[in-house]
Amino acid sequence: MILAVMAIFLLGPASLAQLKEIIELEVYAVSIVGPFPTAVTNLLDLTRLDLHNNKLTGPIPSQIGRLKRLKILNLRWNKLQDVIPPEIGELKSLTHLYLSFNNFKGEIPKELANLPELRYLYLHENRFSGRIPAELGTLQHLRHLDVGNNHLVGTIRELIRFEGCFPALRNLYLNNNYLTGGVPAQLANLSNIEILHLSYNKMSGIIPAGLAHIPRLTHLYLDHNQFSGRIPDAFYKHPYLKEMYIEGNAFRPGVNPIGVHKVLEVSDADFLV
Protein backbone atom coordinates (compact mmCIF):
# COMPACT_ATOMS: atom_id res chain seq x y z
CA MET A 1 0.00 0.00 0.00
CA ILE A 2 1.52 3.29 -1.12
CA LEU A 3 0.27 6.64 0.14
CA ALA A 4 1.70 9.96 -1.04
CA VAL A 5 -1.11 12.33 -0.18
CA MET A 6 -1.44 15.00 2.45
CA ALA A 7 -4.80 13.72 3.67
CA ILE A 8 -3.35 10.65 5.35
CA PHE A 9 -0.90 12.86 7.22
CA LEU A 10 -3.73 14.98 8.57
CA LEU A 11 -5.58 12.06 10.10
CA GLY A 12 -3.71 12.64 13.36
CA PRO A 13 -1.36 10.50 15.43
CA ALA A 14 -3.92 7.94 16.58
CA SER A 15 -5.24 7.20 13.11
CA LEU A 16 -1.85 7.29 11.51
CA ALA A 17 -0.48 4.73 13.94
CA GLN A 18 -3.21 2.27 12.87
CA LEU A 19 -2.23 2.30 9.20
CA LYS A 20 0.34 -0.44 9.47
CA GLU A 21 0.59 -1.24 5.77
CA ILE A 22 1.93 2.11 4.57
CA ILE A 23 5.32 1.65 2.93
CA GLU A 24 5.79 5.12 1.40
CA LEU A 25 4.74 8.47 2.83
CA GLU A 26 5.39 11.69 0.92
CA VAL A 27 4.03 14.95 2.31
CA TYR A 28 6.20 17.77 1.05
CA ALA A 29 5.91 21.45 0.17
CA VAL A 30 2.58 21.91 1.95
CA SER A 31 3.77 24.18 4.80
CA ILE A 32 3.23 21.72 7.63
CA VAL A 33 4.07 23.55 10.86
CA GLY A 34 5.17 22.06 14.15
CA PRO A 35 7.41 19.35 15.56
CA PHE A 36 8.43 16.20 13.77
CA PRO A 37 5.35 13.91 13.74
CA THR A 38 6.50 11.19 16.12
CA ALA A 39 3.47 9.07 15.22
CA VAL A 40 5.11 8.40 11.86
CA THR A 41 7.61 6.19 13.66
CA ASN A 42 4.78 3.73 14.31
CA LEU A 43 4.67 2.94 10.59
CA LEU A 44 7.19 0.14 10.86
CA ASP A 45 6.88 -0.93 7.21
CA LEU A 46 7.92 2.45 5.84
CA THR A 47 10.62 2.30 3.17
CA ARG A 48 10.37 5.97 2.17
CA LEU A 49 9.58 9.02 4.28
CA ASP A 50 9.60 12.37 2.51
CA LEU A 51 8.63 15.46 4.51
CA HIS A 52 10.88 17.96 2.76
CA ASN A 53 10.12 21.64 2.21
CA ASN A 54 7.77 22.15 5.12
CA LYS A 55 8.11 24.09 8.39
CA LEU A 56 8.86 21.30 10.81
CA THR A 57 10.68 22.41 13.97
CA GLY A 58 12.44 20.85 16.92
CA PRO A 59 14.58 17.70 16.91
CA ILE A 60 14.33 14.40 15.09
CA PRO A 61 12.91 12.09 17.78
CA SER A 62 14.98 9.14 18.94
CA GLN A 63 12.08 6.89 17.89
CA ILE A 64 13.27 7.32 14.29
CA GLY A 65 15.41 4.26 14.94
CA ARG A 66 12.28 2.09 14.88
CA LEU A 67 11.95 2.42 11.10
CA LYS A 68 14.23 -0.50 10.31
CA ARG A 69 13.01 -0.88 6.72
CA LEU A 70 13.46 2.77 5.78
CA LYS A 71 15.53 3.30 2.64
CA ILE A 72 14.94 6.98 1.90
CA LEU A 73 14.60 9.71 4.55
CA ASN A 74 14.13 13.21 3.16
CA LEU A 75 13.77 16.04 5.69
CA ARG A 76 15.58 18.81 3.83
CA TRP A 77 14.26 22.40 3.71
CA ASN A 78 12.62 22.48 7.12
CA LYS A 79 13.46 24.24 10.39
CA LEU A 80 14.55 21.17 12.31
CA GLN A 81 17.17 21.74 14.98
CA ASP A 82 19.19 20.27 17.83
CA VAL A 83 21.59 17.35 17.36
CA ILE A 84 21.04 14.32 15.14
CA PRO A 85 20.00 11.44 17.41
CA PRO A 86 22.43 8.51 17.44
CA GLU A 87 19.46 6.20 16.86
CA ILE A 88 19.61 7.22 13.21
CA GLY A 89 22.43 4.71 12.98
CA GLU A 90 19.87 1.95 13.51
CA LEU A 91 18.33 2.48 10.06
CA LYS A 92 20.35 -0.34 8.51
CA SER A 93 18.44 -0.30 5.20
CA LEU A 94 18.91 3.43 4.57
CA THR A 95 20.38 4.35 1.18
CA HIS A 96 19.48 8.06 0.90
CA LEU A 97 19.60 10.57 3.77
CA TYR A 98 18.65 14.22 3.14
CA LEU A 99 19.01 16.53 6.15
CA SER A 100 20.23 19.66 4.36
CA PHE A 101 18.83 23.19 4.80
CA ASN A 102 17.85 22.90 8.44
CA ASN A 103 19.30 24.17 11.73
CA PHE A 104 20.94 21.02 13.03
CA LYS A 105 23.90 21.62 15.33
CA GLY A 106 26.52 19.69 17.23
CA GLU A 107 28.80 17.11 15.71
CA ILE A 108 27.95 14.87 12.78
CA PRO A 109 27.18 11.59 14.55
CA LYS A 110 29.68 8.81 13.88
CA GLU A 111 26.72 6.42 14.12
CA LEU A 112 26.03 7.29 10.48
CA ALA A 113 28.89 4.92 9.72
CA ASN A 114 26.63 2.10 10.95
CA LEU A 115 24.46 2.41 7.82
CA PRO A 116 25.96 -0.21 5.50
CA GLU A 117 23.72 0.56 2.51
CA LEU A 118 24.07 4.36 2.59
CA ARG A 119 24.79 5.85 -0.83
CA TYR A 120 23.82 9.53 -0.62
CA LEU A 121 24.38 11.71 2.45
CA TYR A 122 23.30 15.37 2.35
CA LEU A 123 24.12 17.43 5.45
CA HIS A 124 24.88 20.82 3.90
CA GLU A 125 23.45 24.17 5.03
CA ASN A 126 23.20 23.44 8.73
CA ARG A 127 25.20 24.43 11.80
CA PHE A 128 27.23 21.29 12.36
CA SER A 129 30.51 21.81 14.19
CA GLY A 130 33.53 19.72 15.13
CA ARG A 131 35.27 17.27 12.82
CA ILE A 132 33.79 15.12 10.09
CA PRO A 133 33.82 11.53 11.40
CA ALA A 134 36.52 9.56 9.63
CA GLU A 135 34.34 6.50 10.25
CA LEU A 136 32.19 7.60 7.29
CA GLY A 137 35.03 6.39 5.10
CA THR A 138 34.15 2.80 6.00
CA LEU A 139 30.83 3.06 4.14
CA GLN A 140 31.45 0.81 1.17
CA HIS A 141 28.64 2.15 -1.03
CA LEU A 142 28.74 5.88 -0.23
CA ARG A 143 28.78 7.82 -3.52
CA HIS A 144 27.87 11.36 -2.50
CA LEU A 145 28.91 13.19 0.67
CA ASP A 146 27.92 16.84 1.09
CA VAL A 147 28.78 18.60 4.36
CA GLY A 148 29.19 22.06 2.82
CA ASN A 149 28.10 25.31 4.50
CA ASN A 150 28.54 24.29 8.11
CA HIS A 151 31.04 25.15 10.87
CA LEU A 152 33.27 22.10 10.53
CA VAL A 153 36.97 22.07 11.41
CA GLY A 154 39.86 19.66 10.96
CA THR A 155 41.81 18.45 7.94
CA ILE A 156 41.28 16.19 4.97
CA ARG A 157 44.14 14.04 6.22
CA GLU A 158 42.08 13.24 9.32
CA LEU A 159 39.05 12.41 7.21
CA ILE A 160 40.83 9.86 4.99
CA ARG A 161 43.07 8.32 7.62
CA PHE A 162 41.62 4.82 7.26
CA GLU A 163 43.22 2.63 4.60
CA GLY A 164 40.88 1.93 1.71
CA CYS A 165 38.40 4.59 2.81
CA PHE A 166 35.53 5.88 0.65
CA PRO A 167 35.95 3.20 -2.04
CA ALA A 168 32.82 4.21 -4.00
CA LEU A 169 32.81 7.97 -3.40
CA ARG A 170 32.18 10.09 -6.48
CA ASN A 171 31.23 13.51 -5.13
CA LEU A 172 32.84 15.12 -2.07
CA TYR A 173 31.59 18.54 -0.96
CA LEU A 174 33.55 20.10 1.92
CA ASN A 175 33.08 23.72 0.89
CA ASN A 176 32.29 26.71 3.12
CA ASN A 177 33.65 25.39 6.37
CA TYR A 178 36.77 26.05 8.48
CA LEU A 179 38.97 23.20 7.28
CA THR A 180 42.72 23.76 7.55
CA GLY A 181 45.86 21.96 6.46
CA GLY A 182 46.76 20.94 2.96
CA VAL A 183 45.50 18.59 0.28
CA PRO A 184 47.20 15.27 1.10
CA ALA A 185 48.62 13.22 -1.75
CA GLN A 186 46.64 10.25 -0.38
CA LEU A 187 43.46 11.93 -1.58
CA ALA A 188 44.32 10.59 -5.03
CA ASN A 189 43.58 7.10 -3.67
CA LEU A 190 39.90 8.00 -3.90
CA SER A 191 40.04 6.95 -7.52
CA ASN A 192 36.30 7.26 -8.24
CA ILE A 193 36.08 10.94 -7.35
CA GLU A 194 34.39 13.07 -10.00
CA ILE A 195 33.58 16.26 -8.07
CA LEU A 196 35.88 17.64 -5.34
CA HIS A 197 34.60 20.84 -3.75
CA LEU A 198 37.01 22.53 -1.29
CA SER A 199 36.07 26.17 -1.83
CA TYR A 200 35.87 28.74 0.99
CA ASN A 201 37.93 27.03 3.67
CA LYS A 202 41.24 27.91 5.31
CA MET A 203 43.35 25.31 3.57
CA SER A 204 46.93 25.98 2.52
CA GLY A 205 50.01 24.46 0.91
CA ILE A 206 50.58 23.20 -2.61
CA ILE A 207 48.33 21.06 -4.79
CA PRO A 208 49.86 17.58 -5.20
CA ALA A 209 50.40 16.45 -8.78
CA GLY A 210 48.93 13.05 -7.99
CA LEU A 211 45.50 14.61 -7.70
CA ALA A 212 45.57 15.16 -11.45
CA HIS A 213 45.71 11.41 -11.97
CA ILE A 214 42.29 10.73 -10.49
CA PRO A 215 40.88 9.22 -13.67
CA ARG A 216 37.25 10.42 -13.47
CA LEU A 217 37.81 13.91 -12.04
CA THR A 218 35.55 16.41 -13.82
CA HIS A 219 35.11 19.33 -11.39
CA LEU A 220 37.72 20.67 -8.96
CA TYR A 221 36.96 23.64 -6.70
CA LEU A 222 39.99 25.09 -4.89
CA ASP A 223 38.97 28.74 -4.77
CA HIS A 224 39.06 31.03 -1.75
CA ASN A 225 41.59 29.20 0.37
CA GLN A 226 45.26 29.89 1.05
CA PHE A 227 46.85 27.56 -1.48
CA SER A 228 50.21 28.53 -2.97
CA GLY A 229 52.72 27.37 -5.55
CA ARG A 230 51.62 26.37 -9.02
CA ILE A 231 49.04 24.06 -10.53
CA PRO A 232 50.82 20.95 -11.89
CA ASP A 233 50.75 20.73 -15.68
CA ALA A 234 49.00 17.37 -15.50
CA PHE A 235 45.75 19.11 -14.55
CA TYR A 236 45.73 20.98 -17.85
CA LYS A 237 46.15 17.70 -19.74
CA HIS A 238 43.48 15.78 -17.85
CA PRO A 239 41.07 14.25 -20.40
CA TYR A 240 37.91 14.78 -18.35
CA LEU A 241 38.52 17.82 -16.14
CA LYS A 242 35.90 20.39 -17.19
CA GLU A 243 36.05 22.93 -14.38
CA MET A 244 38.85 24.06 -12.06
CA TYR A 245 38.28 27.08 -9.82
CA ILE A 246 41.46 28.63 -8.39
CA GLU A 247 40.68 32.29 -7.58
CA GLY A 248 41.17 33.70 -4.11
CA ASN A 249 44.43 31.88 -3.39
CA ALA A 250 48.15 32.69 -3.45
CA PHE A 251 49.10 30.76 -6.55
CA ARG A 252 52.02 31.96 -8.62
CA PRO A 253 51.32 34.32 -11.54
CA GLY A 254 50.38 32.50 -14.70
CA VAL A 255 48.21 29.87 -13.04
CA ASN A 256 44.96 29.66 -14.98
CA PRO A 257 41.55 28.18 -14.26
CA ILE A 258 39.90 25.59 -16.47
CA GLY A 259 36.44 25.83 -17.98
CA VAL A 260 33.75 28.44 -18.25
CA HIS A 261 32.72 28.24 -14.58
CA LYS A 262 29.01 27.76 -14.85
CA VAL A 263 27.20 26.78 -11.66
CA LEU A 264 27.02 23.02 -11.36
CA GLU A 265 23.45 21.92 -10.81
CA VAL A 266 22.42 18.39 -9.98
CA SER A 267 18.77 17.44 -9.88
CA ASP A 268 17.30 15.51 -6.97
CA ALA A 269 15.86 13.19 -9.60
CA ASP A 270 19.40 12.00 -10.29
CA PHE A 271 19.57 10.48 -6.81
CA LEU A 272 16.03 9.52 -5.84
CA VAL A 273 16.05 6.16 -7.56
In a domain, 256, yes or no: no
**Any domain includes 153:** yes
Which segment of 9-13, 101-105, 142-146 scores lowest on mean pLDDT?
A: 9-13
What is the per-residue pLDDT for 7? Answer: 40
Residue 270 lies in a domain: no
What CATH number does residue 237 fall under?
Answer: 3.80.10.10
Please check whether residue 62 lies inside any domain of the structure. Answer: yes
Residue 2 lies in a domain: no
- Interval 192-229: pLDDT, tens: 999 999 999 999 999 999 999 999 999 999 999 999 99
Whether the Cβ atoms of residue 124 and residue 103 lie closer than 8 Å to each other? no
Q: Are strands 250-251 and 219-221 parallel, antiparallel or unpaired?
A: unpaired
Answer whether residue 77 is part of any domain.
Answer: yes
Asked whether the beta carbons of 46 and 70 are under 8 A apart, the reply is yes
Residue 271 lies in a domain: no
Which of 34-73 are b and which e, b meaning 16 or more Cβ less than 10 Å from the residue's Cβ?
A: eebbebbbbbeebbbbbbbbbebbeebbeebbbbebbbbb
pLDDT for the residue 30: 87
Give the model confidence (pLDDT) of 130-182 as tens digits.
999 999 999 999 999 999 999 999 999 999 999 999 999 999 999 999 999 99
Q: Which structural domain range is residue 37 located in?
A: 24-251
| Count of domains for the chain | 1
* Of the candidate ranges 3-12, 38-47, 129-138, the one whose mean pLDDT is the lowest: 3-12
> What count of other Cβ atoms lies within 10 Å of the Cβ of residue 233?
9
The answer as to whether 4 is a domain residue is no
For the stretch 121-148, what's the b/e string if a residue is b when 16 or more beta carbons lie within 10 angstroms of its beta carbon? bbbbbbebeeebbbbbbbbeebbbbbbb
Note the pLDDT of residue 267: 46
